[in-house]
Every structure is written in structure tokens, then in C-alpha cells.
């Protein structure tokens, strides 16, 4: 406790055996320029490859490397959460293991932090080596979130950011299960600013965010920060009721003055019924999305299960028992 490092670098790792040595080398190169103490917290998120062995190897030659070993795969957001729970630094940097976030940028973040900013997030001014589809959906995603939520989530930022101890502790108090960390770290407030960078290609391996996971992540973000989808039923209800009142008037008018109705046959009826049925199912589904998340919160299960930690002198101080609970 007395020799707490100045900086903590939190790295979620899921099947990253190919890039960890390089990541460690690049981080050392960058962090040693600060002339201050630092630690590197690698969270092994239930990898199926040699990731944990490689972390142990790294630790054998560099005691600043620490590991949190998850009992299974809990996902990126929870891996980072565990890292924040165990981090001891005055400033904590979250960075991906695949070197898509350039470590050099950390120095710039530290400069801004020393100027007094409490959250310094990295904004991607450009992405390299990703399909147009990923780029397009990511752009669209950020713009939708930005529009419909009431927190100022900066456009095109990932989880790569530096946080002051105060912001880390504030974020750690939010124990929700379905996490959208970049929204949560912005929700806490404090003085925030951005630094710009070009997103690199992955150093090794492949993305673990296929479309399916991205979609789920987007739903977590939206449900976590907006009630708008729930209100959709109300708006649609008013809209459709208004339209049908107009339609009723039109039918009466046509009958009285034109001697005919403009609607024919069963097909019209069928289309209208199916349309309404569809809308009702969609709004039920939306309620279901929220309900499922409420159920998950109510169960109050731990956010993640740790098999073992390596390198932390006082695991009890980390609040490991409390950190797993939702209250």
C-alpha cells in the first residue's frame, strides 16, 4: 500500500497470446519515459489459448506485471471493470491488448491529466484495416447513442482512456451488470477532454467483436442510458390512433358523398392487422429487453468471478468481496 504505483495500465486479454510480448515491450518503452512508477494489470478473460502462461512469463521477468485470472470468459467490459477494481495507481489507463490503441498516446494523456483533466479519452480520427461494414456500423452506432441518450458520450471514442483516481472510484460505485463503460465514465462528470489518434490494425489475432456481439453491446448502451425505446410505444400509439381517426373520417366522407368506400376486400384488413401485430410485438420485445436487464440486476450476482490474482500484495484491500456485489 505504501509503494503504490503512480500509474496503472489495465489490459483486458481474451486469446491474445500473439501480441502480449509486443504490447509489454511497447508499454515499457512508453511508460519508462515518464520516470514514474507504474503497474500493468492484465485481466485474463477466460482465454482458451496460452494467454495466462504468457502473462506469467512476463511477470517472471517484470514484477510490475500483475494478473487477474477470471474463472471463465465474462466479456471485455467486465474484464476492464475488474482491472479498475484492482488498480492502485493515481491515474488508470485502459487499453486494448491488440495494439489497436497506440501506447505512445498515453504520454499525451498523462500531460493532459497533469494539466488538471480527470478523464482523458482517445478519439479515433481514423480507423485502419477494418472493413467498411465495421466502420460504418461503428459510426452509425455512436451517432445513434449520441442522439438518444442524455449523457454526453463523445463521438468515436472507445474504452482507451486515462482516468484520475477520483473518476475511477466514482465509476467503481456503479455496479450495473450490463456495462457501457465509456458512457459510465462520461456520466460521472469531472473535467474531461479528448486526444486524437489513428486506430491501427490489430497486431495479431482477430477481433472478438463480431456483429452479434456489437449488436448486444449497442443494446446495452441504449438501454443503459436511455428510456426512449420504451417511450416509442407511446409515440407509435398516438401516431397510429391519430392516423386511424383520420382514416375513419375519410371512409365516412367517401360513403356519404362519393357513394363508395375507397377500401376493398380482405387484403387491406389483413395488412393492417399484421402491421399492428408487428408493432405490438416489437414494443413487447423492447419491454422485454429492459425487463431482462432488470431481472439480471435484481439477481445481484457477482459481476465476475476471479480464479486467482497474481502480484497484488493485499487482495483484501481491493474490496474484492464488495466489488462483486451490485449493492
Q: Which residues bind Mg ion (CB under 5 A)?
A: 96, 98, 100
Nearest to 23 by CA among 42, 44, 49: 42
Q: Contact 200/160 with Cβ under 8 angstroms?
A: no
x/- mask, ligand UDP, residues 56-75, rule CB under 6 A, reads -----------------x-x
Specify the stretch interacting with ligand UDP by CB under 6 A; choose among 13-21, 184-192, 235-243, 318-326: 13-21
Which is nearer to Mg ion, 46 or 89 (by Cβ)?
46
Under rule CB under 6 A, residue 106 binds ligand UDP: no
Under rule CB under 6 A, residue 50 binds ligand UDP: no
Least distance (Å) between residue 324 CB and ligand UDP = 18
Q: Decide which of Mg ion, ligand UDP, none touches 9; Cβ closer than 5 to 8 Å per partner kind.
A: none
Q: Decide which of Mg ion, ligand UDP, none touches 175; Cβ closer than 5 to 8 Å per partner kind.
A: none
Which is nearer to ligand UDP, 46 or 224 (by Cβ)?
46
Least distance (Å) between residue 92 CB and Mg ion = 19
Q: Which three cell numbers stand for residue 316?
A: 483484501
Which is nearer to ligand UDP, 141 or 190 (by Cβ)?
141
Length of the chain: 327
Under rule CB under 6 A, residue 10 binds ligand UDP: no
Q: Contact 232/155 with Cβ under 8 angstroms?
A: no
Eight-class DSSP state of 258: I
Which is nearer to ligand UDP, 97 or 110 (by Cβ)?
97
Under rule CB under 6 A, residue 122 binds ligand UDP: no
Least distance (Å) between residue 206 CB and Mg ion = 9
Distance of alpha carbon 247 from alpha carbon 234, whole angstroms? 20
Q: Contact 307/52 with Cβ under 8 angstroms?
A: no
Under rule CB under 6 A, residue 20 binds ligand UDP: no
Burial 156-187 (b: 16+ CB within 10 A, else e): bbbbbbbbbbebbebbbeebebbbbbbbbbbb
DSSP track, 93-137: EE--TTS-S-TTHHHHHHHHHHTT-SEEEEEEEEE-S--HHHHHH
Q: Which three cell numbers stand for residue 198?
A: 489513428
Q: Decide which of Mg ion, ligand UDP, none touches 64; Cβ closer than 5 to 8 Å per partner kind.
A: none
- With CB under 6 A as the rule, give the number of residues binding ligand UDP: 16
Least distance (Å) between residue 191 CB and Mg ion = 28
Eight-class DSSP state of 13: E
Nearest to 185 by CA among 206, 168, 204: 168
Under rule CB under 6 A, residue 177 binds ligand UDP: no
Least distance (Å) between residue 209 CB and Mg ion = 7
Q: Decide which of Mg ion, ligand UDP, none touches 101; Cβ closer than 5 to 8 Å per partner kind.
A: none
Q: Which three cell numbers stand for residue 89?
A: 495507481
Considering only residues 200 through 239, tell me which ones interact with ligand UDP, judged by CB under 6 A. Answer: 207-209
The answer for residues whose C-beta is within 8 angstroms of residue 184's C-beta and 6 or more apart is 171, 174, 176, 224
Residues that bind ligand UDP (CB under 6 A): 12-14, 16, 45, 73, 75-76, 79, 96-98, 100, 207-209
Amino acid at each position: 500500500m505504501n509503494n503504490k504505483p503512480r500509474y496503472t495500465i489495465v489490459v483486458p486479454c481474451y486469446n491474445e497470446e500473439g501480441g502480449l510480448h509486443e504490447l509489454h515491450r511497447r508499454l515499457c518503452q512508453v511508460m519508462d519515459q515518464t520516470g514514474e512508477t507504474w503497474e500493468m494489470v492484465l485481466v485474463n478473460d477466460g482465454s482458451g489459448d496460452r494467454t495466462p502462461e504468457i502473462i506469467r512469463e512476463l511477470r517472471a521477468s517484470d514484477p510490475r506485471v500483475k494478473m487477474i485470472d477470471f474463472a471463465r470468459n465474462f466479456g471485455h467490459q467486465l474484464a476492464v471493470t475488474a482491472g479498475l477494481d484492482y488498480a492502485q495507481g493515481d491515474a488508470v489507463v485502459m487499453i486494448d491488448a491488440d495494439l489497436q490503441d497506440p501506447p505512445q498516446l498515453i504520454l499525451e494523456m498523462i500531460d493532459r491529466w497533469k494539466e488538471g483533466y480527470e478523464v482523458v479519452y482517445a478519439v479515433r480520427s481514423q480507423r485502419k484495416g477494418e472493413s467498411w461494414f465495421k466502420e460504418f456500423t461503428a459510426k452509425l452506432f455512436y451517432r445513434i447513442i449520441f442522439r438518444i441518450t442524455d449523457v454526453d458520450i463523445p463521438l468515436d471514442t472507445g474504452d482507451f482512456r486515462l482516468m484520475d483516481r477520483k473518476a475511477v472510484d466514482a465509476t467503481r460505485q456503479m455496479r450495473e451488470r450490463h456495462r457501457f463503460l465509456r458512457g459510465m465514465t462520461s456520466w460521472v462528470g469531472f473535467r474531461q477532454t479528448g486526444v486524437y489518434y489513428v486506430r491501427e490494425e490489430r497486431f495479431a489475432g482477430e477481433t472478438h467483436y463480431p456483429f452479434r456481439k456489437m449488436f448486444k453491446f449497442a443494446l446495452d448502451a441504449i438501454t443503459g442510458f436511455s428510456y426512449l425505446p420504451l417511450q416509442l410505444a407511446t409515440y407509435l400509439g398516438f401516431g397510429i390512433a391519430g392516423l386511424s381517426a383520420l382514416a375513419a373520417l375519410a371512409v365516412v366522407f367517401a360513403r356519404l358523398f362519393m357513394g363508395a368506400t375507397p377500401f376493398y376486400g380482405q387484403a387491406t384488413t389483413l395488412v393492417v392487422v399484421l402491421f399492428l401485430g408487428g408493432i405490438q410485438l416489437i414494443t413487447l420485445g423492447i419491454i422485454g429487453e429492459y425487463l431482462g436487464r432488470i431481472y439480471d440486476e435484481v439477481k445481484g450476482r457477482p459481476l465476475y468471478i476471479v480464479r486467482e490474482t497474481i502480484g497484488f500484495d493485499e487482495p483484501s484491500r481491493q474490496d474484492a468481496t464488495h466489488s462483486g456485489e451490485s449493492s
